[in-house]
Amino acid sequence: MAKTLPPLRFSEAQESAFHQALQRQAYRYLKDRGDHRFANRRAIVKAALILLAAIVSYSLALRASQPLAFMAGYAAFAVLMMWLNIDVNHDASHHTFARRRVLNAVISRAVTLSTGIEPVYWRVRHVSFHHRYANIERYDLDTEENGIFRQTPFQRWRGWMRWQHLYWPLVAALSLSWVGVVFDWADRLGRTPLCAERLLPGAAGWGAFIFSKLGHLALMLGLPVLMGHHVWLVLGIYLLVQMCTSLMVVFLLLGTHWADAAFYEAPEGEQQVVAHGWYHHNFTTACDWRTPRRWQEMFTGGLNYHLTHHLFPGWHHRHYPALARIIGELAAEHGLPYRCISYGELRAAQRAFLRQMGRAHVA
């Protein structure tokens, strides 16, 4: 991977009318409700209840005298903490959960402790690279070529990839651990484009980074062993829940940038200008999807409104249903390809995409 990537900018396409109409209606929606962009009391209470349930589950697991009771409490804790990452940390990473950035940073560091991921590096990868350059080869670090799993038509094909539509769940289950073990250390050692961001500098930076790693091991492995649970039991349930919670996240993101989406190569030349506009780029690289039941949206953290999130990353996810309706109406008026599909359609599109990328002739 290149250590430096020159910044790209999108062409000044004829998108100003759509932009102005979208912003006008979005802020009118807020004004009519007397509302703001951040988490409200209901979202905060929801987060507090999830955290309380996680603490209770962890406490019960530590005090359990039977292996099954320990595993149940431990698994419940891991799942609830991942729910907090989906429902709270994602917004905090975009500085939309709390108004104060320092509070969002504290929330992110606390919530990600159970995952072992360094929150500062994850935030910059997500906000500065994925959001800015979704589906652009080399620039979107979420689709970085890895030699195991082909995610774009511009990546090298290898023989085993013809089976990637079958083995992708294993890749998905190991994804978060890969981020914590491989990506984080590569970022820390300056081997990725994040080195230009000069994140976590000096001794204090190393201290925060090591805290995220040792704190994770102490929370998920050390303390349960110190409380008398057998080391192999703890290690086994740890590996299992890490894989299951990783799958939990991936199934929410399932195909949102793969379902009939476009992929782009970075422009060449000194100007580094993408040939199309920013809105066109987002509409062609992402989609929204509907949960089978409306009440199930309380578990998604807004990730099912993925295109909406890309257009409004500075808004808390509680606003996404209303914003999606606004986007759909205005996109139809301005000729932009807004897509909101069912979860079944999303899964079918993902399967088709993985099969397509697994064919040798696709380039």
Length of the chain: 363
pTM for the full model?
0.94
Would the pLDDT of 161 be above 70? yes
The answer to whether position 14 is within a domain reads yes
Task: Please tell me the predicted confidence (pLDDT) of residue 1.
Answer: 59
Question: Mean pLDDT of all residues in the chain?
Answer: 94
Share of the chain above pLDDT 70, in %: 98
Would the pLDDT of 362 be above 80? no
Better pLDDT: 3 or 308: 308
Would the pLDDT of 363 be above 90? no
Task: Dump pLDDT digits (tens) for 201-210.
Answer: 999 999 999 9
Mean pLDDT over 248-253 rounds to 88
Q: What's the rounded Cα separation, in Å, for the pair 218 and 67?
A: 20
User: Rounded to the nearest 5 degrees, what angle is found at the Cα of 93, between the Cα atoms of 48 and 310?
Assistant: 115
The answer to whether position 228 is within a domain reads yes
Task: Please tell me the predicted confidence (pLDDT) of residue 58.
Answer: 98
Task: Dump pLDDT digits (tens) for 305-354.
Answer: 999 999 999 999 999 999 999 999 999 999 999 999 999 999 999 999 99
The answer to whether position 1 is within a domain reads no
Task: Please tell me the predicted confidence (pLDDT) of residue 168.
Answer: 94
Bridge partners (DSSP) of residue 288 are 340
- Domain range holding 303? 9-358
Would the pLDDT of 361 be above 70? no
Mean pLDDT over 249-275 rounds to 88
Task: Dump pLDDT digits (tens) for 269-292.
Answer: 767 899 999 999 999 999 999 998
Q: What's the rounded Cα separation, in Å, for the pair 238 and 127?
A: 29
Q: Which residue has the tokens 């301005």?
A: 334
C-alpha distances (whole Å) from 317 to each of 129, 297, 299 are: 20, 10, 12
The answer to whether position 3 is within a domain reads no
The answer to whether position 363 is within a domain reads no
Share of the chain above pLDDT 90, in %: 90
Q: How many C-beta neighbours within 10 Å does residue 283 have?
A: 23
The answer to whether position 238 is within a domain reads yes
DSSP string, 128-139: IIITTSTTBTTT
Task: Dump pLDDT digits (tens) for 12-39.
Answer: 888 999 999 999 999 999 999 999 999 9
Task: Dump pLDDT digits (tens) for 67-116.
Answer: 999 999 999 999 999 999 999 999 999 999 999 999 999 999 999 999 99
Distance between first and last Cα of the chain: 20
Contacts 24+ apart (CB under 8 A), 270-275: 272/6, 272/7, 272/8, 272/9, 273/8, 273/9, 273/10, 273/11, 274/8, 274/9, 274/10, 274/11, 274/136, 275/11
What is the tally of structural domains in the chain? 1
The answer to whether position 154 is within a domain reads yes
The answer to whether position 4 is within a domain reads no
